[in-house]
């Protein structure tokens, strides 16, 4: 089953407190057939924050994830949301990229985020 063109993605900052920025990455099956997402570990999405070309935070950096095969089925128009929390961000303007970590296809989204003083 091919996933190219079937998945659409969106990433947004969500409510957090003054010490964190939370992100929600939503993947939607825009195709007319069910899609099976297969994962090789417990981390289903990667989040990366950049200041220009410089990477300032990566969700998976310094974390361990259970090595286990899993899958999720997305029906047509169905979606799944993955979340991450960036702790102790510095004030500034950043770009966040979220990417689905499936075995068979890539799906990513990008947005800007402002961390106030």
Q: List, in sequence order, every residue forming a beta bridge with 62; answer none if it has no partner.
A: none
User: What does the pLDDT look like over 41-69, one tens digit per residue?
Assistant: 888 999 999 999 999 999 999 888 888 88
Query: Residue 2: pLDDT above 50?
Result: no
d(CA 23, CA 83): 6
| Rounded average pLDDT over 22-26 | 96
Q: What is the pTM of this model?
A: 0.88
CATH, domain range 7-115? 2.60.40.2360
d(CA 30, CA 33): 9
Q: H or E segment at 81?
A: strand 79-87
């Amino acid at each position: 089953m091919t996933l190219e063109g079937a998945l659409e993605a969106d990433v947004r900052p969500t409510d957090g407190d003054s010490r964190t920025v939370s992100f929600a990455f939503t993947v939607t099956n825009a195709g007319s057939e069910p899609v099976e997402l297969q994962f090789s570990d417990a981390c289903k999405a990667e989040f990366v924050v950049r200041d220009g070309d410089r990477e300032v935070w990566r969700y998976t950096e310094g974390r361990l994830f259970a090595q286990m095969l899993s899958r999720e089925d997305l029906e047509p128009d169905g979606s799944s949301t993955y979340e991450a929390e960036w702790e102790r961000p510095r004030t500034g303007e950043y770009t966040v990229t979220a990417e689905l970590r499936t075995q068979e296809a890539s799906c990513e989204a990008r947005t800007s985020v402002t961390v106030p003083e």
